[in-house]
Amino acid sequence: MNPISAGMLTRRIQIQRPSTVKDSLGAPSRTWINVATVWADIQPLSGREAVIANRITAELTHQITLRYQAVFDNPQQVAQMRALYKSRIFNIHSALNEDEKRTQLILLVSEGLDDG
């Protein structure tokens, strides 16, 4: 594992988790709550096209590297979170605690398919 230098983390991202609130009619509505705002590095990994609902949709996978955040300790909650960078939305699939040292996290994410 290479240590993270400040110069590597050049993008400011927001980590969000879903929350359910009631709208004016009392019906449940999904909203997103900011959990953390951190510096990160975003690197593309792969891309593919899929036919979903008779429509061709593109999906790009990325790797987001950031300093350790305790918010990612619960694997069940991680898969519901997302990361925002400018107008881009990244659905988080997993958070890898590099070498189990709690210094660096690698988020495996997808962009393009709206999972929520």
pLDDT at 113 over 70: no
DSSP state letter for 72: G
Contacts of 99 (CB under 8 A, 6+ apart): 1
DSSP state of 64: E
pLDDT at residue 107 above 70?
Answer: yes
Between vectors from CA 106 to CA 104 and to CA 108, what angle results, nearest 5°?
A: 165
What is the band of 1 on the pLDDT scale with cuts at 50, 70, 90?
low
Which pLDDT tens digit goes with each residue over 70-93? 888 887 888 899 999 999 999 999
